[in-house]
Structures are given as C-alpha cells and as structure tokens.
A and B are shown apart, each in its own frame.
Chain A
C-alpha cells in the first residue's frame, strides 16, 4: 500500500451522493479489493470491496458469523457482540446450529408459497394507494406506502398483530440505528423479546393459521428460541423491503427515463427490481465475518481470528462484474448481485421481498403517473447512520 492511501480506520459511511456508496470505498476497490482496515476496537482486520472476493467469502464456511468472534467496525456494536446470543437468532450462527433453524423455516419461504401471496399483496398495495388518494398530497411515501406494505405482509405471515406496530417499529428502529447506545440496543431487544414471548404463549393456547403458530405447534423450538426466530423475521421483514421501496422510488423519481420503463413495461419489472437491488445495496455496511482458519482470498492471506467486513455496495458496482455499475440501468442483466448476500445465510425472505417490490413499484407509478418529489432532492433525509440504508421520509406530490 502506498503512503498516499493510508490504512482505513473503520468503515466509511458518509456519502457524497444519495444513491452511491461512499467514494472512498470505490477508490479502495480499484486499488485493492481486499485490504487492511483498522476496526473500532483497534483490531487489524480487512475490508473487502471486490465482487469476486466478497462472493467467495460469503460462500466459504471457513468464515464464521458468530458474534463472539467478530470485531465490529462500529464502536457500539463491538460491545453488544460480547453479550450472549439470543437463542434462535440463527443469522449469527454457523452450521450445524444454523442449519437446524433455517431448515425449519425454508419450507415457508419457497418461490411457490410466495407466489400464493401475490393476490393478498396486490390487495394490500391497492388499499394503501386508495388511502393515499383519500388523504391527498403531499404525502410522506415512507409512512403511507413503503413501510406499511411489508409491515402488514410480515405481520400477517408471522401472526403478529399489526395494531402493535408502533411498539415493534420503534424497537426495530433502535436496533438498526448505528448510533444507538449499547444500553438502548439491549433494552430494545429485551422489550421485543418479552412482547414476542407473550405472543408465543398466546399462540400455544389459541393457535391460528400463521407461521408462528405453526412453529409453536411443531414443538421443535423452546419459547426462548421461538422468540429469537420471530425477532429475526420481524426485523428483517420490516427494515429491508420498506427501505428498498422508499429509496427505490426516490431513485426512479430522479431518473425519469428509468421510471417510465418500470411504469410502462410490465415485462421489464422483474429485472428492474434486481437492478434497483444491485444499484442501491441498502445493506451498506457489512456483513462482517471472522476467519476460523488461515484463508487466502484475492491475493491476501487472512489469518485465523481476523475479521473481514464486506461492502456489498462497492462489490455490486465492481466494474469487473457489472460494466458501468455506477449507472442505474433497469434493462441491464442485474442477476448475481450480492444484495441478498450469498452462501448459506443468503436472505431467507428474498422471494417475498421480490414479489412485494414487483407489485408495489409499478402499482404506485401507474396509480400516480405524475408522482414527483415535494421537496428538492437534496432535502430528502438519508439513513446514513442506519444499518439498513434508505430515506427517513420521502415527501411526494401527484
């Protein structure tokens, strides 16, 4: 490494432009796709910005996701990782523990099962659009559309009462806020878990036709484990698609040519969703893994015990994989992006997220052909300090 580009101290989050990862990450990728980075706790680990290298690490089970092994680029998170893992929170487990939980759930998220939800997702989407029309412009699209659709869908699937949303949306927001203190994160987790444990007890007494009831009645998981599984699905179901819908609409509103394709060409929608996923990469920090043994990746020797933090945003724009990757082009072949991850932890709910987006974007753009920002683009508040990137609010007119 040259003196002109000293080692990175922690992961850069500050963006020059709303839709692009920090320029520093692209510069680092062009220089060396795997390079040293100093972590918040002083650990000398690695930053991975190349597509092939990030994909290889995600597919390699010699890299662990267990929190007690991880060093975090975010100071507050490092502390939290030292706490005992919530039982059932399998995103932070390696095989074979991870396999056991994932296998209990994968049957619920198959392509075919998700397709069966299409009519209901259409209904939910149309009812949100009706409500927007009734309430009139201007509207905050996050509150009126982007958040309620995935929130309603995951609540109905899991069997969580939507009326309780204020509570779990608040706790969920604390969990993904990278500035949250460790005390606040701990309190939000406890609060959510005690709520979900209550719900599990209720389902045990009066089972319904929902996923949580099914898991309770299946009898393979303890109440504690059920709480952790439900916690993971509830957070993941909220924060992700909601931010893709908000940020994706913002991106389309500032690219009218691309917007017109999504609005007018039904055959282009599936690929447009993949391109929005690739281009926007809302998981804008990490994931982080730790090497369980010495592994050579991209010419770098990563030693056992060293952590690697990936930038999916930089990897998804690697010119070696996606030519002209900095441009949003809804007609490019965008498959193979890493926005849902790769390897055994690849997003369990991705087929649900795809269907939600494939329905919601065109429905919104067709209902309101004159949809436009109600404020200058630079005034849209961005979620730079949240684990899931997006917009806090998106004021729109039509």
Chain B
C-alpha cells in the first residue's frame, strides 16, 4: 500500500498521529500531516485504513 496525504486539505486534528504514530506525525509549524512511512508494512494495513477513515478533512488516501 502507498499512503497519499494532502497537507493543503489537512486541518491538523491529529487523528492520524493519534491512531498510528509510527506512520503519521504532525508538522511542528502548523500541525498538518507529515507521513513518516508512505509504504508501511502490510501488517499495519488495518490501522492505516482506520487512520484514513478517521481523518476529518479527507486529506488521506491509500493506493493498493
């Protein structure tokens, strides 16, 4: 899987960083999403999908 993040849409709610801190972080500057690992191991798939689901602004997507 490959994670795509649109920092322009991001509202910095932090749901991704809360759900999966080893994959998502937030910019110190404006709190928007920083993807630490855009192609995480398959075992993290369900958690990545949950983070995408929880994102309030629709800034995250996953390509299989």
For the residues of B in contact with A, the DSSP-based class is loop
A107, B58: Cβ atoms under 8 Å? Answer: no
Number of A-B contacts (CB under 8 A): 70
Q: Which of A58, A107, A354 contacts B12 (CB 8 A)?
A: A107
Q: Which of B17, B28, B30, B56 contacts A341 (CB 8 A)?
A: B56
Q: How far is the CB of A61 from chain B (nearest CB, A)?
A: 10
A346, B56: Cβ atoms under 8 Å? Answer: yes
Size class of A's contact patch? Answer: 20 to 34
Cβ of B27 within 8 Å of any chain A Cβ, yes or no, is yes
Q: How far is the CB of A156 from chain B (nearest CB, A)?
A: 20
Instruction: For chain A, residues 326 to 346, give those with C-beta under 8 angstroms from any C-beta of chain B.
Output: 335-336, 340-344, 346
Instruction: For chain A, residues 59 to 114, give those with C-beta under 8 angstroms from any C-beta of chain B.
Output: 59, 102-112, 114
- Provide the bound-state CA to CA distance between A312 and B21, in Å: 28
A107, B30: Cβ atoms under 8 Å? Answer: yes
- Provide the bound-state CA to CA distance between A273 and B21, in Å: 19
Q: How far is the CB of B5 from chain A (nearest CB, A)?
A: 15
Interface size on B, residues (CB 8 A): 23
Cβ of B50 within 8 Å of any chain A Cβ, yes or no, is yes
Cβ of A351 within 8 Å of any chain B Cβ, yes or no, is yes
A103-B12, A344-B11 in contact; A112/B26 too (CB < 8 A)? yes
Cβ of A347 within 8 Å of any chain B Cβ, yes or no, is yes
A109, B56: Cβ atoms under 8 Å? Answer: no
* B54 contact set on A, CB distance < 8 A: 335-336
* A344 contact set on B, CB distance < 8 A: 11, 56-57
Q: Which of A58, A59, A105, A110 contacts B14 (CB 8 A)?
A: A110
B32, A59: Cβ atoms under 8 Å? Answer: no
**Looking at B12, B29, B32, B57, which has the most chain A CB atoms within 10 Å of its CB?**
B12
